[in-house]
Amino acid sequence: METLKVAATLDALTAIRDFINGATHQAGLDEHASWQVQLAIDEAATNVIQHGYNGSEPGVVELSWQIDDDELSIVLRDWGRQFNPDDIPTPDIESPLEERQVGGLGLYLMQQLMDNVHFEFDTHYGNLLTMTKRLQRSKPAITEFQLHDRLDAVSTDHGLAAVRAAIAVGTKYVLLDMTKVTFLNSSGLRALLLLRKELLAQGGELRLCGLQSQVYEVFNLTGFTQVFTIHPTREEAVVAFEQGHP
């Protein structure tokens, strides 16, 4: 859990924004979801700063966030005037602008942008606002290739040509189905190692599946079972790829 405590002034909104940017980055949210969280927190913090405290001295706003399972939870706490969301009327967003009543839009935006918005008040802990955002983790775009026959000094260049071409135009996540590969020597192993190195340099990943026993033995004898991610079947490889498991 990360925590930030700032004075309840408009100048603090920059620090709050940076704090929330760190949260959405750690959560892996895309640009649009990050903007939604940022706007919701800005509305909540601005409301506390402008309306939560009385007197000339600013109060305090405390924010914290944590990631649990598939959810980003952000808590905003203040010790100002008690806030009851039931006292805020639902804003009119359908009438002509000149006929609409002022107020309620901030709370409305928070409820529309976040998956859950919960208020509570305690005489000791003050106003506590908890908002959550579900994490929609995108699945990697996996490009699959089925290799055939031999990967040796003669056939490796041709056998991996399509893989190299795909990587050259930006493919990052590659699954090589080696079910039909019957022979592998050091030349083939070296070529696979270079593919892996190139993908890693681009932030990508290479996985192998379906190795026949004699091919797997080459990996085992050279210690490369500790280097390559190898799955027994294509189905297991795809699931692990999507879930980000080794």
3-class DSSP state of 156: helix
Residues 15 and 130 placed together within one structural domain of the fold? yes
Q: Which domain holds residue 54?
A: 2-134
Last residue of a domain, one of 92, 108, 134: 134
pLDDT tens digits for 59-79? 999 999 999 878 999 999 999
236: exposed, middle or buried (Cβ count in 10 Å: 0-12, 13-18, 19+): middle
Residues 109 and 207 placed together within one structural domain of the fold? no
Whether the predicted pLDDT of 88 surpasses 80: no
Q: How confident is the model at residue 182 (pLDDT cuts 50, 70, 90)?
A: very high
What is the model's pLDDT at position 203? 85
Last residue of a domain, one of 134, 165, 193: 134
Q: Which two tokens stand for residue 103?
A: 């107020």
101: exposed, middle or buried (Cβ count in 10 Å: 0-12, 13-18, 19+): exposed
Residue type, 196: R
Name the pTM for this structure.
0.55
CATH number of the domain residue 179 falls in: 3.30.750.24
